[in-house]
Amino acid sequence: MANEVQGSERAGVEGDKKVTVMNPAGYPPQITPKPMAPRLDSLDGKTVYLVDPRFDDSGLFLRQVQNWFADHMPSVKTNLVEMSSVYTKDDPKTWEMIKANGDGAIIGVGH
């Protein structure tokens, strides 16, 4: 039980005596800044994809977002699409499709 708190160590750290200990945290990844896509001048006449991650009734929510655009910004074309699998997986096929056919995207609600 060599690592259990030794009597001398415990006595030594009482009062004002300082002790030195080691940092238990791991090493974070280096953060690489990612560029944002250029924003649109306006949404007028644009196609916006509404991406459903298929999580906790997210599709029902996006349907209401789609209705909002129809009521308030009818010049915006909205396409509601589901991710190809569970929200935890990347979905490059869908992203490529949106890149080819859309001007912008709204993803929600995924927590």
Partner 1 sequence: MHAIALDSKYGVPTVAIHTNAFEKAVQSVTRMHGMPEARYTFVPQPVMGKTAEQLRAYVEGKSPISGRPVMQEVIEGLTRPAEGDRIKESKFERSTPRMVDSDSDDNLHRLFLENNWTDKLPIVLPTEKRVAEMLARTSRKPDEVAGHMRSNQFRQYWEFTVEKVAINAVMAGARPEYFPVILALASSGVSARGSTTSSMAAMVVVNGPIRNEIAMNSGTGAMAPYNYANATIGRAYGLLSQNLQGGSLPGDSYMGSQGNGYAYGTMTFAENEERSPWVPFHVQHGFKPTDSSVSIFTGCRSTAFTLGVREKYWREHVRSMLRGMDAHSAPTFVLDPIAARQFIDRGGFDTKEKLIQWVYENALMPAGEYWDYQLIQNYIYPRATFGEEPYASKLKAAPDEMIRMFKPDEIHVVVVGGETNGYWRIMGCNYQKTVSVDEWR
Kindly tell me which of 14 and 74 has the beta carbon lying closer to partner 1: 14
Q: Contact letters (x/-) for partner 1, 2-41, by CB under 8 A?
A: xxxx---xx--xxxxxxxxxxxxxxxxxxxxxxxxxxxxx
Residue 88 C-beta: closest distance to partner 1, Å:
5
Binds partner 1 (CB under 8 A): choice among 77, 79, 80, 106: 106
Residue 87 C-beta: closest distance to partner 1, Å:
8
d(CA 84, CA 91): 6
* 98 three-class SS: helix
User: Residue 99 corresponds to which tokens in the numbers above?
Assistant: 């890149």
Residue type, 109: V
79 - beta bridge partners?
49
